[in-house]
Amino acid sequence: MTGNVAIVTGASQGIGKATAVRLARNFENIVLVARNRSNLVETADEVTSAGAKPLVLDADLSVPAVADEIAVEAMGKFGRIDALLNIAGAVPQVDLFEMTDEQWEAGMALKLHGARRLTIRCWEALKASKGAVVLTSGNSALFPKAGYAAVGTINAAIVALAKAFADRGLRDGVQVNSVLPGPVMTGRRKSYLEHWAPIHNVSVEDAGRRFLQDSGIARYGEPEEIAELMAFLVSPPARWLTGAQLRMDGGEVTSI
């Protein structure tokens, strides 16, 4: 696989960073996209050490024009796009009756519409390379709750969007799947626990254990574990896998 190119959004931290570093074993060039440039530079150093050439693009995918800019930069630099992994996007966990229109729109603008626009903008290049796309959802798509309604709603929309892209991909030769991670111990989750714990008069450790107990799983996932699934989905052995939603959550979702 010489000269191939993968674009990874949300590459500055968490699952996005782990995925970018993991893909450096299989892709010669990795386009790193996120809003935090200093963190992206750290990711780029790790990608370089892992054997790939990074291109750092600090950009906000919630801005409509940015998708076009990313595609133009990637094609201008490398001349092709073989894989697009849409990982960027954090949706606030706010109660259904408390979340404002602005919070809803911000969550959708980055995670849903940012991924939609970038996938569309990269589609012709992906057709040419017979490439692969991954859209990142979350297992809350399968059990929306009032306490974090936007998370479940937007994640469900992403699963449906991936299905729609996969349908078009059957004609165009582009493979599309979605990944639904469960509770993964990222920096964002750690920050959430650190914020939640003092409000409820418990230690951060106790807060982490309580959430595990409520989830019914033995431990949190690690970003590197999700990254391995991402890498498989854009690898040659996975070429016949398309239109699927793959849940990786330690068994949190117990329904069929």
Model confidence band, residue 2 (pLDDT cutoffs 50, 70, 90): low
In this predicted structure, which of 5-9, 117-121, 175-179, 203-207 has the lowest mean pLDDT?
203-207
> What is the mean predicted confidence (pLDDT) over 114-131?
98
Distance CA 169, CA 164 (A): 9
Q: How many Cβ atoms sit within 10 Å of the Cβ of residue 99?
A: 17
> What is the mean predicted confidence (pLDDT) over 51-74?
98
Q: pTM score, two decimals?
A: 0.95
> What is the mean predicted confidence (pLDDT) over 25-39?
97
> What is the mean predicted confidence (pLDDT) over 65-87?
98
The whole-number pLDDT of residue 216 equals: 94
Q: Is the pLDDT of residue 136 over 80?
A: yes
The whole-number pLDDT of residue 93 equals: 81
Model confidence band, residue 9 (pLDDT cutoffs 50, 70, 90): very high
Q: What percent of the chain has pLDDT over 70?
A: 99
The whole-number pLDDT of residue 90 equals: 81
CB-based contacts of 218: which residues, under 8 Å, 6+ apart? 212, 250
Domain locations in the chain?
Answer: 5-184+222-248, 185-220
Q: Is the pLDDT of residue 4 over 50?
A: yes
Is the CATH code 3.40.50.720 the one for domain 5-184+222-248?
yes
**What are 209's two structure tokens?**
């254990």
The whole-number pLDDT of residue 149 equals: 87
DSSP string spanning the chain?
A: --S-EEEEESTTSHHHHHHHHHHTTT-SEEEEEES-HHHHHHHHHHHHHHT-EEEEEE--TTSHHHHHHHHHHHHHHHS---EEEE---------TTT--HHHHHHHIIIIIIIHHHHHHHHHHHHHHHT-EEEEE--GGGGS--GGGHHHHHHHHHHHHHHHHHHHHHHHHT-EEEEEEE-SB--HHHHHHHHHHHHHTT--HHHHHHHHHHHHT-SS-B-HHHHHHHHHHHTSGGGTT--S-EEEESTT-----
For the chain, give the mean pLDDT. 95
Q: Is the pLDDT of residue 63 over 80?
A: yes
Closest CA to 134 of 21, 243, 32, 253: 243
DSSP string spanning 54-78?
A: EEEEE--TTSHHHHHHHHHHHHHHH
- 97-118 pLDDT tens trace: 999 999 999 999 999 999 999 9
Q: Is the pLDDT of residue 56 over 50?
A: yes
Contact of 89 with 114, CB cutoff 8 Å: yes
- 162-181 pLDDT tens trace: 999 999 999 999 999 999 99
Unique residue bearing structure tokens 């979340």: 99
Q: Is the pLDDT of residue 141 over 60?
A: yes
The whole-number pLDDT of residue 1 equals: 43
- 183-204 pLDDT tens trace: 999 988 888 899 889 999 999 9
Distance CA 93, CA 166 (A): 29
Contact of 100 with 77, CB cutoff 8 Å: no
